[in-house]
Structure 1
Amino acid sequence: MKKFYIALFSLFFFISLVGCQSKAEDPLEFSGETQSWSATVMLYPGENREDAAQINLNYLGGGKVESVGDFGINLDTSNNQNGIAVRDARLNKKGNFKEKVKVDVSKDVIKSEYMILTVKWNDRSEDIILKVK
């Protein structure tokens, strides 16, 4: 009888450990392209609404990379929540911008079907519709 109780206790203990284990969510990838830019945003859901986003932006425009200068980025979700804003960003020599930022993302953002990334540079502005891959 003693072995039965030990086995039963061990089973409950194992089930409680497995049930309490937190599973990290897979990152969500949003991507899109316009005539001047291509972009990918990876959302890495974290704990306590402290999420990270990796922004990858590539300049496809006809001019030299240096002509872009400082630019700004706004990221809005399909349900009109502003997720990310970056100011005074610069492209590298290859015309790429990569940055990982911490964001406070609600579950509505994670379930969003698309995002709109607005890039503003040299008195120009383009909206890139980023769809879930």
Structure 2
Amino acid sequence: MKKLIFIIIAIIFGAITIGCESKSIGELSFQGSSQSWEATINYDNNNKCKVNIKYTGIEKPPMDVEFTIEDLSGNTSGGYMEYGEVLNKVGGFSLEKEHDYKLSKYENKDKLAIVMKWNNNEETIELNQEWDN
């Protein structure tokens, strides 16, 4: 009888544990553009965040650029880039940083923003979450 009670308790505990397990999200991706810029932000479950920003304006690419990037929690961080010096093969630049976000907590976050400042201009790139189909 004690074995039967132990087995029933183990089954119930196992079912509760499996039912409460949170789903794992492999990646969150955001993409957007403004009049002169386009950008993507990718968060992966290896605690890496990659930001790609590309100038799409009609004038010569700016040499000096300031930017402020919103993260999943709503906090912002910024920087300064000598843009004309660091263009990658797709005409933009990439930043990579570590994150400690549990992605499943932010799966319903649908927008992020990047503010770009250059040559006395300022634009906000609104990035929308790309949903997997």
Distance 1:109 1:78 in 2: 10
Number of positions where the alignment pairs a residue of Structure 1 with one of Structure 2: 124
TM, length-normalised to structure 2: 0.64
Distance 1:105 1:84 in 2: 16
Distance 1:73 1:83, change over 3 A: same
Q: Where do 5+ consecutive residues of structure 2 fail to align? A: 1-17
Q: Point out the more displaced range, 105-114 or 119-128.
A: 105-114
**1:97 corresponds to which of 93, 98, 113:** 93
Distance 2:44 2:81 in 1: 24
Post-superposition offset of 1:132: 0.4
**2:110 corresponds to which of 104, 110, 113:** 113
**1:57 corresponds to which of 53, 64, 71:** 53
Q: Is the aligned partner of 1:131 residue 2:125? A: no
Alignment of 1:1-133 (within 5 A): 25-46=25-46, 51-64=47-60, 67-76=61-70, 81-89=74-82, 90-92=86-88, 94-105=90-101, 110=106, 111-133=108-130
Q: Where do 5+ consecutive residues of structure 1 fail to align? A: 1-17
Identity of aligned residues (%): 26
Post-superposition offset of 1:74: 1.1
The amino acid of 1:132's aligned partner reads Q
Matched position secondary structure for 2:48: strand
Distance 2:121 2:39 in 1: 17
The amino acid of 1:57's aligned partner reads I
Distance 2:103 2:124 in 1: 23
Distance 1:108 1:85 in 2: 25
Q: Deviations over 1:58-87 (max 9, x none)?
A: 1110112xx4112122122587x2244232
Post-superposition offset of 1:56: 1.0
Distance 1:75 1:104, change over 3 A: farther
